[in-house]
């Protein structure tokens, strides 16, 4: 039987970084086994589900490059089917109407809590034959009362639940809409899902789902519950830890593949290997090697991974994201050196694309103001003299090539009897507005002669006035 996995988020917000990881695991598992990866939108809670959230999820998945193999399924479009299945169960006696009011249930729970018991439905409508007039009933699943359910979890191993611990959960609300646990079961069954890879928070739902599946005569899929991601302080990851939505990671300057690489190593490992190509991830990933304990999210490590990707990736592959960041800074990248060339020149010193964009802005836009400290330190009267001489040298260059620029700069330092720093640093501040840039020959070459000379002149004037 071929593998079918699925990612089933509820559209009540952005695509969470933890959700992205379970999606990735599902995706990789399907890819590895030549199966299918499906996407299902669990929007049965019409109160909280929004179209904007659906879009946010699609956008996030697309940015990460986690494409589903078929059109996404929306649960709200399957209400008819859930109703049919519920009716079948009613007929078969595996489900029954319950007329208890919310107040009644509430009271029951309170009493159980007071007795220090686990709050659960006590099955008082199980054998009711007559409807309660004027009450719209809910439909409950008739859970087996004896025996146990064994969840053979791919990650956690066997987990045993006593049926006596489980109660009769509601599968259809009094307004006729189906509930989560019921939709999941019907969908996983009819979508032919063979491997359910999902968050840890669903383990306790699993025995119920298996019971319903069995009542339906279906073979339960395999389950793998991946531990959640914690914040750096060991507490559940939330907004106060910073970015949680995957699109925020784009804004922070991360490459999608770097995010994926970081995520796959969070809770999973393959020996000592840290970096994986997409192909390696698909080939090497193994759900059974996923860690059982939750892992903390470490931004520092992500930054490192991202930097590694920036350094290794072909510049053509990062140009798109780089452009996006430049434009975000209000810079028009068309007017200046090729993005690929700038990436090559900058990537050693930039760990994120935000950093790269900020440090590369000067290639595409005029220097609005010098960094105060850098200007004070390097644009001195002595530097004015050097800049002056340099302008003359550069103007005279027969060819605007890195080698020629290099020779001119070094030659000038020698002629003036100063260290290279004494000429390179003023140049940096002059052309970049700050004392940080790629190697000076590279920088001037990319910037172009025209722009270089204008900025050198401006800086010379600025320095001379001091």
Partner RNA sequence: GCUCCCAUCGUCUAGAGGCCUAGGACGGAGCCCUCUCAAGGCUUAAACCCCGGUUCGAAUCCGGGUGGGAGCGCCA
Q: How far is 270 from 151, CA to CA, in rounded Å? A: 26
Whether residue 454 contacts residue 389, with contact meaning beta carbons closer than 8 Å, is answered with: no
Could you report how far apart the first and last alpha carbons of the chain are, in Å?
79
Q: How many CA atoms lie within 13 A of 202 on its CB side?
A: 20
Q: Which is nearer to RNA, 240 or 465 (CB)?
A: 240
Find out whether 232 and 51 touch, Cβ atoms under 8 Å.
Answer: no
Least CB distance to RNA at residue 419 (A): 6
Strand (E) or helix (H) holding 172:
strand 170-172
How far apart are the C-alpha atoms of 458 and 466, rounded to whole Å?
Answer: 13
Q: How far is the CB of 377 from RNA (least distance, A)?
A: 10
Question: Chain centroid to CA 263: how far?
Answer: 8
- Residue that is written with structure tokens 């050693």 in the block: 348
Q: Which residue's CB is nearer to RNA, number 147 or number 234?
A: 234
Closer residue to RNA, CB minimum distance, 25 or 180 = 180
Nearer to RNA, 311 or 328 (CB): 311
Q: Under DSSP, is residue 97 helix (H, G, I), strand (E, B) or coil?
A: strand
Closest by CA to 254, choosing from 312, 304, 328, 314, is 304
CB atoms inside a 10 Å sphere around CB 87: 13
Identify whether the C-beta of residue 297 lies closer than 8 Å to the C-beta of residue 232: yes
Least distance in angstroms from the C-beta of 334 to RNA: 26
Known catalytic residues are 239
Q: Considering the complex, state which of residue 269 and residue 282 has its C-beta at the smaller distance from RNA.
A: 269
Nearest to RNA of 35, 126 (CB atom): 126
- CA–CA dist 235, 431 (Å, integer): 46
Q: How far is the CB of 190 from RNA (least distance, A)?
A: 17
CB of 2 to RNA, least distance (A): 25
The least CB distance from residue 79 to RNA, in Å, is 11
Nearer Cβ to RNA, position 43 or 321?
43
Taking alpha carbons only, the member of 389, 381, 327, 384 closest to residue 353 is: 327
| DSSP annotation string for 299-332 | HHHHHHHHHHHHHHS-HHHHHHHHHHHHHHTT--
Q: How far is the CB of 34 from RNA (least distance, A)?
A: 23
Report how far residue 10's alpha carbon sits from residue 57's, in angstroms, rounded to the nearest whole number: 9
Which two tokens mark 407? 């020779």
């Amino acid at each position: 039987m071929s593998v079918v996995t699925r990612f089933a988020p509820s559209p009540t917000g952005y695509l969470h970084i933890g959700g992205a990881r379970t999606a990735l695991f599902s995706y990789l598992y399907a890819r590895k086994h030549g199966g299918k990866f499906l996407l299902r939108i669990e929007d049965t809670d019409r109160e909280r589900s929004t179209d904007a959230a659906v879009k946010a999820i699609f956008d996030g998945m697309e940015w990460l490059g986690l494409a589903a193999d078929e059109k996404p399924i929306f649960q709200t479009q399957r209400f008819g089917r859930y109703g049919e299945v519920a009716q079948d169960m009613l007929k078969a006696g595996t489900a029954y109407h319950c007329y208890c009011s919310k107040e009644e249930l509430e009271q029951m729970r309170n009493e159980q809590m007071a007795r220090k018991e686990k709050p659960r439905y006590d099955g008082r409508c199980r054998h009711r034959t007559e409807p309660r007039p004027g009450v719209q009933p809910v439909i409950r699943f008739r859970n087996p009362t004896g025996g146990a359910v064994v969840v053979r979890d791919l990650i956690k191993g066997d987990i045993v639940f006593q049926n006596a611990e489980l109660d009769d959960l509601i599968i259809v609300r009094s307004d006729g809409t189906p509930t989560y646990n019921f939709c999941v079961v019907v969908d996983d069954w009819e979508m032919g899902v063979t491997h359910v890879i999902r968050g840890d928070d669903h383990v306790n739902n699993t025995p119920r789902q298996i019971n319903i599946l069995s009542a339906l005569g279906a073979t339960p899929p395999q389950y793998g519950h991946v531990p959640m991601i914690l914040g750096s302080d060991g507490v559940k990851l939330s907004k106060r830890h910073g970015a949680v939505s995957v699109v925020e990671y784009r804004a922070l300057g991360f490459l999608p593949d770097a995010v994926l690489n970081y995520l796959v190593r969070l809770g999973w490992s393959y020996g000592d290997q840290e970096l994986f190509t997409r192909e390696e991830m698909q080939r090497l990933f193994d759900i059974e090697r996923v860690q059982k304990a939750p892992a903390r999210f470490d931004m520092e490590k992500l930054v490192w991974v991202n930097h590694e990707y920036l350094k290794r990736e072909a510049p053509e592959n990062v140009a798109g994201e780089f452009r996006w960041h430049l434009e975000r800074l209000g810079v028009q990248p068309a007017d200046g050196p090729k993005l690929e060339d700038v990436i090559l020149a900058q990537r050693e010193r930039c760990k994120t694309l935000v950093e790269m964009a900020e440090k590369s802005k000067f290639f595409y836009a005029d220097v609005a103001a010098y960094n105060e400290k850098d200007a004070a330190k390097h644009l001195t009267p002595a530097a004015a003299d050097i800049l002056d001489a340099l302008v003359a040298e550069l103007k005279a260059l027969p060819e605007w090539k890195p080698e020629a620029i290099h020779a001119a700069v070094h030659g000038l330092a020698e002629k003036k009897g100063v260290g290279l720093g004494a000429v390179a640093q003023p140049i940096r501040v002059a052309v970049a507005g700050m004392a940080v840039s790629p190697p000076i020959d590279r920088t001037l070459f990319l910037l172009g002669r025209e722009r270089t000379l204008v900025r050198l002149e401006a800086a010379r004037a600025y320095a001379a006035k001091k």
